[in-house]
């Protein structure tokens, strides 16, 4: 297994761990939570029963006081006033108890939503309490089944359904068949007395059965079938019409190809040909056609399902698949709008801050603004560094306002991407840092003749990642900035315009030739070369006294370091010509001459004077 494979597997495990950590939720003891809920319901039910019992006692006491007040003599005013005051206290306490009772009922409904009774399609009421061994769910299911059986029984008449009191309970029944029974606990949850509760539920059951029978009647069924046929007919016409419209549009495209449809050109370049443009338009027309057809079918299907009671429940489900995402999207956009405004304001502020930085960078680069110790070529790199820092700070500021930024998954993925970017771009980041350091070191500029390691040439490009050099052989070499940092750099152009670059080359001469003559001729040869400066004047150094010859070095100034190859070539030619004109041989350190004492190794056309005559 390679190292890259191991790193990828490690990143994959870290990503999975981040996702798992984000999705992890603290575990909950559902049994304990359910037990606590049941205990709370029982406790509040007991409190509510105590309130109702207190109200009952106050009601009995108030009735007794009213009877006593009626039986008093009119002339007993003191007793009359006492009874009236006591009645007022009872009435006030009854109001307080009634408010507390309603509050208790509301708090109970927060803990228990109840079980809905849905015999057909709509919920008619809810069951909150159990009865004997029957739970609230068992009671609701039994009531639903009994109501359905009543509706299906042709002998059943709605008016024959009755409600009466049986000991402490109220019963709704048909003949000898019980439909539902209510006790004080049921009345407690509705915050009304049990008799009123039975009357209300009786009317709700009757209304539900009547509505169901009307919806399932033969007349309504035939009407629904005719409406469904009409919907299918209209839908078929729409599909046929859209298909024919698409076909007609395609024909028009073919006719107008090359006339009105001439393709897409960008500055003379044929980006899209007419034939390809027609094919693209065909694809768009076909996609729009099928999208409209599917939308029409999707909207027509709930309309047909809503016509029949047995399938009416699927209508909101199908519509919900289409409308719920749109509603949620709209609600999310509306809820996110304040954060969006905040992000826009922050982005505008940072945009103008970047404009101000760019303005000052341009002024520094052109020299219109001068800061001591700050060089003009630092302006753009400094601007880019500050720009990156500002953009990073911008992301930090707007991050809390991004949608989903507070989710654990978002944070886990962000950490994973950051780790992945850090490890995968280590080399690139090193080159970027080296590029910035080189910029502020000012080791070289564009156009300078430099030597980096073993490479010599002109700088043609400086970027954050690489430095490009054009050699004297017109070769372009890309050197990573990290390698430039680790190598020594010789800049031939840094001081060439002020002090000049010294061009130098070695030549050897025998001991028989006086050094003064060699110096004079070498300087004369250097001054003949183009691009060699007369001031400062060339000079000669004697580098070594070897066994058979003396090594001289001619040095001359030039302000054209980029033409070194040409200057050296011309200097070597000039040295050869000048010394031959002076009838002096140029002996190489590896040159051996065997002669008879008469012939000199000097090209034809030059004089053959002796050294003594020259002196």
CATH of the domain at 525: 3.30.70.100
* Pair (101, 125) in one structural domain: no
| 28 has pLDDT over 50 | no
Decide which of 216, 243, 271 is a domain's last residue: 216
Give which of 235, 210, 204, 397 is closest to 303, Cα–Cα.
235
Best CA proximity match to 215, nearest among 350, 89, 119, 91: 119
pLDDT of 469 reads 92
Q: What is the CATH number for 471?
A: 2.30.30.60
204 and 237 housed in the same domain: no
Q: Do 596 and 507 reside in the same domain of the chain?
A: yes
Looking at residue 556, what DSSP letter applies? E
Q: What is the DSSP letter of 561?
A: G
Q: Clarify whether residues 178 and 264 are in a common domain.
A: no
Report strand pairing: 549-558 vs 455-462: unpaired
171 and 125 assigned to the same domain: yes
Question: What's the predicted TM-score (pTM) here?
Answer: 0.47
* Band (34; pLDDT cuts 50, 70, 90): very low
Q: Indicate whether 319 pLDDT > 80.
A: no
Q: Does residue 538 lie in a domain region?
A: yes
SS3 for 463?
coil
Q: Which of 183, 216, 249 is the last residue of a domain?
A: 216
| Strand-strand pairing, 539-545 and 549-558 | antiparallel
- Across 125-133, average pLDDT: 80
Q: For 92, which DSSP code?
A: H
Count, residues in the chain = 615
223/229 Cα distance (integer angstroms): 10
pLDDT at 39: 63
In a domain, 286, yes or no: yes
Same-domain check for residues 231 and 300 = yes
Give 493-513 pLDDT, tens digit per residue. 888 888 889 999 999 888 888
Does residue 44 form part of some domain? yes
* Per-residue pLDDT reduced to its tens digit, 354-411: 999 989 888 888 888 888 877 787 788 888 888 888 998 998 888 888 877 777 777 7
Give me the number of domains the chain comprises. Answer: 5
Helices 274-305 and 314-366, interaxial angle, to 10°? 140
The answer to the question of residue 417 being in a domain is: no
If asked whether residues 529 and 597 sit together in one domain, one would say: yes
- Residue 330 inside a domain? The answer is no
Please name which of 204, 146, 194, 215 lies closest in space to residue 174, comparing C-alpha atoms: 146
Matching residue, tokens 């040159």: 591
Q: What is the mean pLDDT of residues 4-8?
A: 38
* 518 and 606 housed in the same domain: yes
- Name which of 432-436, 472-476, 600-604 the model is least confident about: 600-604
State the pLDDT at residue 526: 94
pLDDT value of residue 557: 94
For the segment 149-179, what is each residue's pLDDT rounded down to a tens digit? 888 887 888 888 888 888 778 888 888 888 8
- The domain boundary, picked from 289, 312, 335, lies at 312
Report the C-alpha gap between 181 and 134 in whole angstroms: 12
Beta bridge partners of 457: 450
454 or 89, which is more confident: 454
Model pLDDT, residue 54? 67
Instruction: State how far the Cα of 243 lies from the Cα of 289, in Å rounded to an integer.
Output: 7
306 and 227 together in one domain: yes
Average predicted confidence (pLDDT) for the chain: 78
Lowest-confidence range among 44-53, 365-374, 432-441, 472-481? 44-53
Q: Facing residues of 456 across strands?
A: 451
Which residue range forms the structural domain that includes residue 80?
Answer: 30-111
More confident site: 486 or 48: 486
* Mean pLDDT for the stretch of residues 547-556: 90
Per-residue 3-state assignment (H helix, E strand, C coil) for 261-273: ECCEEECCEEEEC
Residues 511 and 595 reside in one and the same domain: yes
Are the C-beta atoms of residues 415 and 429 closer than 8 Å to each other?
no
> 225 and 139 in one domain?
no
The DSSP-derived string for 372-439 is: TT--GGGHHHHHHHHHHHHHHHHHHHHGGGSTTTTSHHHHHHHHHHHHHHHHHTHHHHHHHHHHHHHH
What pLDDT, on the 0 to 100 scale, is given for residue 542? 94
């Amino acid at each position: 297994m390679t190292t890259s494979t191991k790193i990828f597997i490690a990143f994959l495990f870290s990503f999975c761990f981040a996702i798992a950590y984000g999705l992890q939720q603290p575990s909950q003891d559902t049994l304990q939570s359910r037990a606590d809920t049941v205990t709370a319901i029982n406790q509040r039910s007991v409190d509510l029963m105590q309130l109702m019992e207190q109200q009952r006692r106050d009601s009995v006491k108030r009735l007794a006081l009213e009877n006593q007040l009626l039986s008093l003599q009119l002339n007993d005013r003191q007793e009359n006033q006492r009874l009236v005051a006591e009645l007022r206290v009872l009435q006030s306490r009854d109001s307080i108890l009634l408010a507390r009772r309603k509050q208790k009922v509301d708090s109970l409904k927060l803990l228990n939503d109840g079980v809905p009774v849905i015999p057909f399609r709509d919920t008619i009421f809810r069951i909150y309490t159990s009865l004997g061994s029957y739970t609230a769910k068992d009671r609701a299911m039994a009531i639903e089944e009994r109501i359905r059986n009543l509706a299906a029984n042709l002998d059943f008449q709605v008016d024959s359904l009755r409600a009466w009191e049986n000991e402490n309970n109220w019963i709704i029944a048909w003949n000898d068949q019980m439909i539902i029974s209510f006790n004080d606990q049921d009345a407690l949850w509705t915050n009304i007395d049990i008799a009123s509760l039975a009357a209300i539920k009786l009317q709700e059951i009757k209304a539900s059965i009547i509505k169901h029978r009307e919806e399932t009647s033969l007349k309504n069924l035939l009407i629904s079938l005719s409406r469904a046929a009409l919907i299918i007919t209209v839908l078929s016409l729409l599909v046929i019409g859209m298909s024919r419209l698409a076909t007609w549009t395609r024909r028009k495209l073919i006719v107008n190809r090359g006339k009105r449809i001439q393709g897409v050109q960008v500055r003379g370049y044929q980006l899209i040909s007419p034939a390809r443009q027609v094919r693209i338009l065909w694809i768009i027309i076909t996609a729009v056609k099928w999208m409209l057809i599917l939308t029409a079918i999707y909207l027509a299907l709930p309309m047909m399902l809503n016509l029949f009671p047995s399938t009416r429940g699927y209508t909101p489900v199908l519509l919900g698949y289409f409308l719920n995402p749109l509603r949620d999207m709209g609600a999310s956009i509306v809820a996110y709008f304040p954060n969006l405004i905040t992000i826009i304001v922050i982005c505008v502020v940072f945009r103008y801050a970047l404009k101000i930085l760019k303005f000052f960078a341009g002024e520094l680069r052109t020299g219109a603004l001068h800061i001591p110790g700050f060089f003009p070529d630092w302006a753009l790199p400094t601007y880019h560094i500050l720009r990156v820092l500002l953009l990073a700070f911008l992301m930090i500021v707007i991050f809390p306002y991004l949608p989903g930024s507070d989710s654990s998954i978002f944070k886990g993925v962000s950490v994973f991407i950051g780790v992945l970017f850090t490890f995968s771009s280590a080399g690139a980041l090193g080159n970027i840092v080296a590029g910035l350091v080189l910029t502020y070191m000012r080791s070289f500029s564009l156009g300078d003749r430099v030597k980096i390691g073993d490479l010599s040439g002109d700088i043609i490009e400086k970027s954050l990642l690489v430095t490009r050099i054009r050699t004297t052989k017109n070769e372009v070499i890309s050197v990573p900035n990290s390698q430039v940092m680790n190598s020594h750099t010789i800049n031939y152009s840094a001081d060439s315009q002020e002090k000049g670059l010294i061009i130098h080359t070695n030549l050897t001469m025998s001991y028989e030739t006086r050094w003064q003559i060699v110096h004079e001729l070498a300087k004369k040869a250097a001054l003949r070369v183009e691009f060699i400066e007369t001031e400062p004047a060339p000079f000669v150094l004697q580098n070594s006294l070897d066994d058979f010859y003396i090594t001289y070095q001619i040095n001359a100034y030039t302000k054209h370091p980029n033409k070194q190859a040409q200057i050296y070539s011309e200097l070597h030619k000039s040295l050869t010509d000048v010394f031959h004109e002076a009838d002096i041989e140029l002996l190489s350190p590896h040159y051996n001459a065997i002669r008879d004492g008469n012939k000199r190794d000097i090209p034809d056309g030059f004089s053959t004077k002796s050294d003594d005559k020259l002196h």
